[in-house]
Amino acid sequence: MMSVILRRFSSSSTPKRALAAALGCLNHQLWAGATTTSTAQPLLKARDFHVRSDGPLGYKASVVSQAGFAAADYASLDEDKAGSKGNDSEEGLEIAKLGISQEIVSALAKRNITKLFPIQKAVLEPAMQGRDMFGRARTGTGKTLAFGIPIIDKIIKHNTDNSPGMYPLALVLAPTRELARQVEKEFHESAASLLTICVYGGTPISNQMRQLDSGVDVVVGTPGRIIDLMKRGALILNAVKFVVIDEADQMLNVGFAEDVETILSKLPQNRQSMMFSATMPSWIKNLTRNYLKNPLTIDLVGDSDQKLADGISLYSIMSDMYSKASIIGPLITEHAKGGKCIVFTQTKRDADRLAYAMGKSHRCEPLHGDISQNQRERTLSGFRDGEFNILVATDVAARGLDVPNVDLVIHYELPNSSETFVHRSGRTGRAGKKGTAILIYTQEQARNVKLIERDVGCRFQELPKITVEGGSDMGGMRDRRYNEMGFGRSSGRGDSGFGRSPGYKNFGYGKSSGNNGSFSGGPSSGRFGSGGNRAGIGRSDRSSSFGDFGSGRSSGFGEFGSGRSSGFGDFGSGRSGGSSSSQSSRGGGGFGDSGSNRFGSFGDERKF
Ligand SMILES: Nc1ncnc2c1ncn2[C@@H]1O[C@H](COP(=O)(O)OP(=O)(O)OP(=O)(O)O)[C@@H](O)[C@H]1O
């Protein structure tokens, strides 16, 4: 503890800080020229983090193999056990008996974490041995502590044996601010002596620079801000021994691919790299090949048909587009039973509108990327603390967000891919608990529901149709949609027009204008066609986007912004989707509500 205090006291007047400043300059030079840094900075002692022992898990080096790209080649695990029965006490290993630092054991015990979950069990020993790895496990099964425990343990042991250094030993990259904060919290709560910092955009960089200046052990952050801090010489990565890329495929989805590679290329060669990803698109394969050394694949999903975490009951309900908003209330009353509920929309605007409309009768808040960071944090903590029980969110909340006791997830609009469906649904049924997910779909989308079933290896139980009398509690939402979103006969010239809201893809309104060809001829040759925002980005590896039910998000505007925005897949926007709506979308700030995804100028985070 004393060394921690001393480090906090360090100022730029000390030789240590002076050297740090010098290294900061060197860092600038590295940015200007070389692409990799391979030397550990001289200030820090050489660190031998990686233990070699038979260990308590009976892990055998002979079962390791090269990362086999989503193949389940971690043969020592019984697949049945490797599912998502995260809290099965019979399967877990007692954390207190693993020989990891008492500080961690005690901190976890305080949170009632006493046994390892399967992914933690699988990762622990190879991670302790210093192996690079690619990991995959179902939602809510404890991946954060899977990489967190070994890293924290090694840093604690190092800090006990040596005086802590100035510069971070571990770097964790996360695709969203919320996830970054959550991961940092998990680190911090697992070992209070560790100095951790979370860096992301939307908050003053000067505070983060000051904190980095006084020395940290672990940096968790989103790639944009990390790069910014590196460029300013405030974040020096020469001492990094551990790097984790969490939700790696999502990094690609939200346009962080280049940033991630830039960061990886600046890290010391002598490091341990761990990557967690739900899928293995070709970018991830390349990343694995280029930046991981002889990686081990630990895949607890494997070829198993069932991709969803156990314990999540699935329901579907058909609704016409007019009634969708109105059936939310009854669904929540019936299925959330007073507990927490997240309603997922496709667009920020729809999240706002739905929350506004629902707010008349329920306590709820919207969450999306256009809301200020401060407000986002307030909203999330209010939701966590039970100040309100309904969160209406875009997919910014779909990945990684860990709010205990979310009983119900409602897909107000169909997700744009099976993966998104899995991640959204995975906000419930976490850590072995039970939960419910309900998918609302229109008649035209029935085929897509089947596709999700096939992709995810699940079955929806169809709920009886809810008949909504006029003047429901969501009437405001419905009216607003009519008035502002150009439904009905407004030809998309209302407030937002069709051009701005991809919501219409789910509403399948009117006749298709027959522009499907634009999309189906697009660069994506995914299994379901070219739709979704993926169409515009030309990746064929993400086959689970639902091309056939619409253009998805902004890609239509990015790639095909000729004004024929009505070419939204099978359903199109009917007569309303004329060029004016598309143009209004573009004129109104690029890609409208749905976020620019890869097309806009990237800040720290952009898509949702
Ligand atoms: N061994 C454990 N025992 C009990 N609870 C645990 C254990 N490990 C993790 N948890 C809890 O389980 C919850 C889910 O963990 P985490 O968020 O790491 O899951 P995840 O696999 O990363 O999920 P996602 O795929 O959605 O990001 C957290 O609240 C975490 O504190």
Query: Per-residue pLDDT tens for 399-451?
Result: 888 998 999 999 999 999 998 999 999 999 999 899 999 999 999 999 999 99
Residue 358 CA to ligand 1 center (angstroms) comes to: 30
On whether residue 483 sits in a domain, the answer given is no
Same domain, 289 and 339: no
pLDDT, position 163: 76
On whether residue 22 sits in a domain, the answer given is no
pLDDT, one tens digit per residue, over 228-249 is 999 999 999 999 999 999 999 8
- Look at strands 406-411 and 435-441 and give their pairing: parallel
Same domain, 318 and 389: yes
The three-state secondary structure class of 88 is coil
Q: Are 310 and 429 in contact (CB under 8 A)?
A: yes
Atom number, ligand 1, closest to the C-alpha of residue 404: 29
- Protein residue with its CA nearest to atom 25 in ligand 1: 139
Q: How far does CA 493 lie from the centroid of its chain?
A: 34
Asked if the interface predicted TM-score (ipTM) of this complex is over 0.85, the answer is yes
Question: Domain residues for 364?
Answer: 312-462
Q: Are 570 and 550 in contact (CB under 8 A)?
A: yes
Same domain, 447 and 357: yes
pTM over 0.80: no
pLDDT, position 469: 66
Atom number, ligand 1, closest to the C-alpha of residue 179: 27
Of 280, 380, 364, nearest to 328 (Cα)? 364
pLDDT, position 354: 95
For residue 468, which phi and psi values (nearest 5 degrees)? -110, 125
pLDDT, position 217: 97
The parts of the chain modelled with pLDDT lower than 50 are 1-6, 8-48, 51-91, 471-607
pLDDT, position 71: 27
Q: Are 328 and 343 in contact (CB under 8 A)?
A: yes
How many independent structural domains does the chain possess? 2
Residue 77 CA to ligand 1 center (angstroms) comes to: 19
CATH number at residue 422: 3.40.50.300
Residue 256 CA to ligand 1 center (angstroms) comes to: 24
- Residue 104's alpha-carbon distances to 51, 101, 234, 425, in angstroms, are 18, 5, 29, 30
Same domain, 412 and 276: no
Same domain, 104 and 155: yes
pLDDT, position 64: 32
Task: Count other Cβ atoms within 10 Å, centred on residue 525.
Answer: 14
Say yes or no: CB of residue 430 within 6 Å of ligand 1. Answer: yes
**Mutation test residue for ligand 1: of 97, 100, 121, 143, the one with most atoms within 8 Å of CB:** 143
